[in-house]
C-alpha cells in the first residue's frame, strides 16, 4: 500500500509539473511577443524622430538668414529626440505625429510644428539650472522638451480640459520637474518669479507687461506677436542686467491667439 501511495504521489507531482510547464509556456508565448512588439514600436518611433530632426535641420538651414545660424545647439536636438511626440498628439493624429507640422489637439488649439519648438527653445539659450515659465501648456510637448534642458518648468494653461490632460500626462510619463496650473498666462506666475526664460506659445497683440516684470535680468523671452488676421512675428525679448529691454524680430509665424480677458 505504501509503495502504491508513493507511486500515486509521484504521478501527481509529474502531472502538476506538466501543468506548470504548460502555463509557463502559454504565459511566455503571450508576453514575449507583446514585449517584442513594444520594443519594435519604440524603435520605429525613434527612427521617425531621427527623420523629424533631419527635417528640422533642413528647415533651419533654409531659414538661416532669419535665425543667424545654420545649426541648432546639439542639446536642443537631443531633447527633441528624447521626447516621444506621438504621446502628445490626439489619437486621430497619431500617424502624423512625426511630421514637421502643427497638429490639432482639440479646443481650437494645436501642438506646434517641431521646427518652431526647436527654434524657440534654441533661441532661449537655456542652462541646466534654469527656471522657465511657459504660457500655453497645450498638450505638454513644448514643456516636455524644456524639461530635458532645465532644472524646472512652470507651465500655465487657460483651457481647463487641456490643463488637466497635460498634468495627467506629465505624471504618467514621469516628468517630475514640470509644475502646471490652470489660469490666464497673460499675468504670468508671480510667486515663482523671476524666471531665467519665458516662452509664450500663443500670439499676443502686444508683449504682456507682467511677463517682462517676471523675466530675470539677463533672461530671454520668446513670444509671437500679432493678431489672428495679420502677419505675426516671433520676437526674442532680452532683458539686460541693468533691466533694459531689447527686442529682436526673428521670423513670421502663425500661432493660435492668446486667450483671456485682457
Cα–Cα distance, 96 to 233 (Å, whole number): 26
Cα–Cα distance, 58 to 100 (Å, whole number): 11
Q: What are the helix (H) ranges across the chain?
A: 2-62, 64-67, 74-82, 114-123, 141-147, 160-173, 209-214
Q: 75: Cβ–Cβ under 8 A, 6 or more apart, which residues?
A: 149
Q: Which of 35, 153, 149, 135 is nearest to 83 (CA)?
A: 149
Residue 92 corresponds to which cell in the numbers above?
486621430
List, as one string, the DSSP characters of 8-59.
HHHHHHHHHHHHHHHHHHHHHHHHHHHHHHHHHHHHHHHHHHHHHHHHHHHH
DSSP-derived secondary structure letter, 146: H
Phi-psi region of 13 (alpha: psi -120 to 50; beta: other; left: phi over 0): alpha
Asked if 180 and 163 touch (Cβ cutoff 8 Å), the reply is yes
Catalytic residue among 29, 40, 112, 227: 112
List the strands of the sheet with 152-157, edge to edge: 178-182, 152-157, 131-135, 195-200, 215-225, 232-239, 245-253
The answer to whether residue 29 is catalytic is: no
What amino acid positions are annotated as catalytic residues? 112
Amino acid at each position: 500500500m505504501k509503495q502504491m501511495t508513493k507511486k500515486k504521489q509521484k504521478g501527481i507531482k509529474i502531472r502538476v509539473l506538466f501543468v506548470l510547464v504548460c502555463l509557463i509556456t502559454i504565459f511566455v508565448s503571450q508576453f514575449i511577443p507583446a514585449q517584442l512588439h513594444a520594443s519594435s514600436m519604440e524603435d520605429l518611433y525613434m527612427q521617425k524622430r531621427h527623420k523629424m530632426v533631419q527635417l528640422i535641420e533642413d528647415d533651419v538651414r533654409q531659414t538661416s538668414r532669419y535665425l543667424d545660424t545654420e545649426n541648432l545647439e546639439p542639446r536642443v536636438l537631443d531633447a527633441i529626440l528624447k521626447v516621444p511626440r506621438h504621446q502628445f498628439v490626439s489619437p486621430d493624429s497619431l500617424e502624423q505625429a512625426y511630421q514637421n507640422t502643427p497638429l490639432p489637439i482639440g479646443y481650437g488649439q494645436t501642438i506646434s510644428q517641431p521646427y518652431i519648438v526647436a527654434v524657440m527653445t534654441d533661441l532661449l539659450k537655456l542652462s541646466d539650472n534654469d527656471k522657465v515659465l511657459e504660457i500655453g501648456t497645450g498638450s505638454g510637448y513644448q514643456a516636455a522638451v524644456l524639461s530635458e534642458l532645465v532644472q524646472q518648468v512652470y507651465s500655465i494653461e487657460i483651457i481647463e480640459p487641456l490643463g488637466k490632460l497635460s498634468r495627467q500626462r506629465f505624471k504618467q510619463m514621469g516628468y517630475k520637474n514640470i509644475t502646471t496650473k490652470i489660469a490666464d498666462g497673460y499675468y504670468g506666475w508671480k510667486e515663482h518669479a523671476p524666471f531665467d526664460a519665458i516662452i509664450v506659445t500663443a500670439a499676443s497683440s502686444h508683449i504682456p507687461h507682467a511677463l517682462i516684470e517676471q523675466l530675470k535680468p539677463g533672461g530671454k523671452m520668446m513670444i509671437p506677436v500679432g493678431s489672428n488676421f495679420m502677419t505675426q512675428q516671433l520676437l526674442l525679448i532680452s532683458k539686460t542686467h541693468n533691466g533694459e529691454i531689447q527686442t529682436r524680430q526673428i521670423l513670421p509665424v502663425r500661432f493660435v491667439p492668446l486667450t483671456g480677458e485682457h
